[in-house]
Structure 1
């Protein structure tokens, strides 16, 4: 693990893979940390210099006063690339990480080689969904985070998969239980306020959109909307709920790899 000193705190990151390989940046979902990508690492580090980081408010990264914005989180990524002297990189983000990827594609496309956004949408939910959650987390703190952990199992994974992979489910949902309540609420504000529906056409980087066919958080309709509004974008759906990279595993990893290696 390493840390980048930002103006207001440190950003935790991990850089793995061949030193001179193309860089692939991975961005975590709301309520997880960089270890949500652990199952992808053995394959992807064969081909890429993989840069994982804990989004502001998560893991071992800085927790600052919220609400945050997706622009703020996107600028954290650019600061990390600048500090590591990485001019251009591939980017793969899931859910909130997918919103960050959209912001980068719209506002910093020159820094991207190829872009993958997973289990996301150009707009996720509404203030009526997000505000009560933010209020609950700020009020009840760690107790609320433990409650969200238990509720997340059915949102993040299909019932059949979660019943057969209890250890994996616990590993991922424990990330949510240990996330800073202040950081989580601040990121909920960023997701609540993001809306890229009218800007998607600006994205020029080659784009792959991945959805989970059983994802109730960001249904396939949201992924298809992105694909339909970005010229040349590709779309893949997997039988999975919200954390398709965890649930699908190897086929997910291979699909992303094939896209990133395409000429």
Structure 2
């Protein structure tokens, strides 16, 4: 897979598929996953779009320099990928952290963004302590000891029991995340505040929430939708990683919005 160097030299791994002349759709993952998070969607979406997905710094095959990381840094990383892929303009679909970077993109690179999908995400954490606790636990114990509790937040009990292979794939991605990457990204999420910038987004936006999501509560998505003029909200019967728990519904929901 190709790589591009970010502003600070960090290599960012990315992948491009789909017709060369089609509109571009950039995909952005959650914390603790890599570009294969979108494998259930990629084949169908690549029929309609030039698909660009990448590993955020500290994840997958990208570099993982020591932090601190910021949302500005992560946003400019994504723009470096878009530039390398030849995407002057693009649609964006991001889940969790990917939706946070999407909000940054919609507010700071509005001339480049077509339509925005912000999925299972938030715009500001007033209470920083849970993120401080998560960082401390990761540093003290490593990511493998976190994977069990994280899967309980990311998927419903029913899905974990019936789709063990899908969950195991996510556990492997999570455990393969670089510690400094997990910590740096967690701190970027902890410190973000898009309460003033998200209302300036003008791109047509759809917000996806998981009705059973304990990580980014459905009301967080509702609040984001209220902040963006004309934004639509779609609720899926899922926990946090709704594109994996409800792959068909997610694929169709995003495709209908982007092509509508």
DSSP 3-state at the match of 2:12: strand
Kindly indicate whether residue 98 of structure 2 is the aligned counterpart of residue 88 of structure 1. Answer: no
Could you tell me which residue of structure 2 aligns to residue 101 of structure 1?
102
Structure 2 partner of 1:18: 19
CA distance in 2 between counterparts of 1:209 and 1:2 reads: 30
| Aligned residue among 219, 222, 228 for 2:226 | 228
Alpha-carbon distance in 1 for matches of 2:162, 2:19: 34
Uncovered stretches (5+) of structure 1, i.e. residues with no partner: none
2:16, 2:85 within 8 Å by CA — same for their partners in 1? no
1:5 aligns with 2:44: no
1: CA distance between counterparts of 2:181 and 2:122? Answer: 22
- Note if contact 1:16-1:50 (Cα within 8 Å) is conserved in structure 2: yes
Please give the alpha-carbon distance, in whole angstroms, between the structure 2 residues aligned to 1:123 and 1:13: 28
The one-character-per-residue Cα deviations of 1:45-90 (angstroms, maximum 9, x if unpaired) are 1100100000011011011121211110000111111223311000
- SS for the counterpart of 2:143 is helix
TM-score (norm 1): 0.96
Q: In structure 2, do the counterparts of structure 1 residues 146 and 25 end up closer, same or farther at CA, with 3 Å as the change threshold? A: same
Unaligned runs of 5+ in 2: none
Structure 1 distance, partners of 2:134, 2:196, is: 27
Q: Is the 8 A contact 1:32 1:176 kept in 2?
A: yes
Structure-2-length-normalised TM-score: 0.97
Aligned partners of 2:98, 2:22: CA distance in 1, in Å?
23
Deviation at 1:125, TM superposition (A): 6.3
Question: Secondary structure of 2:139's partner?
Answer: helix
Q: Distance in 1 between matches of 2:204 and 2:139?
A: 39
| Residue 257 (structure 1) aligns with | 255
**Quick one: which of 199, 202, 207 aligns to 1:201?**
199
Instruction: Measure, in 2, the Cα distance between the counterparts of 1:248 and 1:57.
Output: 27
Partners of 2:176 and 2:126 in 1: CA distance:
24
Moved more, 45-54 or 58-67: 58-67
Alpha-carbon distance between aligned partners in 2 of 1:237 and 1:85, rounded to the nearest angstrom: 33
Question: Which consecutive aligned stretches of 4+ in structure 1 deviate over 6 angstroms post-superposition?
Answer: none
Offset at residue 138 of structure 1 (A)? 2.3
Comparing 98-107 with 172-181, greater Cα deviation is found at 172-181
Per-residue CA distance 1:143-186 (angstroms, 9 max, x = gap): x2111111112101111111000000100121111111111001
Which secondary structure state, in structure 1, belongs to the residue aligned with residue 15 of structure 2? strand
Q: Which residue of 2 aligns with 1:149?
A: 147
Distance 2:140 2:158 in 1: 34
Q: What RMSD over aligned residues (CA atoms) do the two structures have, in Å? A: 1.1
Matches within 5 A, 1:48-197: 48-124=49-125, 126-140=127-141, 144-197=142-195
Task: Report the secondary structure of 1:15's partner residue.
Answer: strand
Q: Is the 8 A contact 2:10 2:57 kept in 1?
A: no
